[in-house]
């Protein structure tokens, strides 16, 4: 993590544990802190839907970060959003029977109240080979922008509270 007061001079404010950890987008949490959903860049065996896990870092001030918690990934979650008391993730759900190595599949949308346990939203489009561009949510609603298999930009708007 690097910090700058003027955008010109930068100083290192925090360094992660190893090079195999990747931080993701930083979200403001409902308790006034911050969270970053990233991944561990190594393959593992286990109960995750894909062979990498989500890592969750938390921070009270964007400078001091807690060691990441490792969470079994529900699918290829590409983007995350935080709303009041809820996290939303969107990406691709690997096809049944696949090894989860490639990040394509049908649209997957997941919600969580703690970032640890994820619920799959149902009744969403089942177009194969989508690419999620963005996700946002307020804890009660979800808006996802994605490109379908034909390259058409689509938006999914719906309920999101777990």
Q: Is 39 within 8 Å of 51 (Cβ atoms)?
A: no
Nearest to 71 by CA among 40, 98, 113, 31: 40
Closest-CA residue to 128 (of 112, 110, 103, 106) = 106
Write down the pLDDT at residue 37.
82
Q: What is the pLDDT of residue 51?
A: 56
Residue 66 per-residue DSSP state: P
pTM of the complete model: 0.66
Domain ranges of the chain: 18-159
What per-residue confidence (pLDDT) applies to 98? Answer: 61
Least confident of 7-11, 68-72, 77-81: 68-72
pLDDT in tens, 21-61: 677 778 888 788 888 887 765 554 445 555 567 778 889 98
Give the Cα separation of 71 and 39 in Å (integer).
9
Closest CA to 143 of 130, 154, 157, 153: 157
The stretch 143-147 carries a mean pLDDT of 84
Lookup: tokens for 36: 């970053």
Distance, in Å, from the CA atom of 7 to the CA atom of 11, rounded to the nearest integer, reads 11
Render pLDDT for 85-117 as a digit per residue (tens, 0 to 9): 778 888 777 666 665 555 566 788 888 888 778
> For domain 18-159, is the CATH number 2.120.10.10?
yes
Strands (DSSP E) contained in the chain are 2-3, 11-12, 21-22, 26-28, 34-40, 53-59, 69-72, 76-83, 86-93, 106-112, 119-120, 131-137, 141-147, 153-159
Q: Report d(CA 22, CA 16) in Å as an integer.
A: 9
> Which residue, 28, 107, 114, 19, is CA-closest to 71?
114
Ramachandran region, residue 28 (left: φ > 0; alpha: ψ -120 to 50; beta: rest): beta
pLDDT, residue 45, reads 47
* Residue 151: pLDDT band with limits 50, 70, 90: confident
pLDDT in tens, 8-18: 889 887 666 55
Mean pLDDT, residues 67-90: 74
């Amino acid at each position: 993590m690097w910090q700058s007061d003027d955008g010109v001079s930068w100083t290192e404010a925090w360094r992660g544990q190893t090079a195999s950890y990747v931080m993701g987008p930083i979200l403001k949490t409902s308790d006034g802190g911050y969270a970053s959903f990233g991944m561990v860049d190594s393959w593992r065996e286990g109960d995750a839907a894909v062979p990498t896990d989500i890592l969750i870092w938390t921070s009270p001030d964007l400078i001091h970060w807690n060691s990441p918690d490792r969470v079994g990934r529900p699918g290829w979650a590409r983007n995350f959003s935080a709303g009041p008391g809820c996290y939303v993730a969107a990406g691709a759900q690997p096809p049944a029977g696949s090894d989860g190595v490639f990040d394509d599949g049908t649209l997957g949308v997941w919600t969580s109240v703690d970032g640890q346990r994820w619920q799959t939203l149902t009744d969403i489009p089942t177009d194969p080979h989508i690419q999620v561009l963005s996700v946002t949510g307020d804890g009660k609603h979800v808006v996802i922008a994605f490109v379908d298999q034909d390259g058409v930009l689509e938006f999914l708007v719906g309920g999101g509270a777990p």
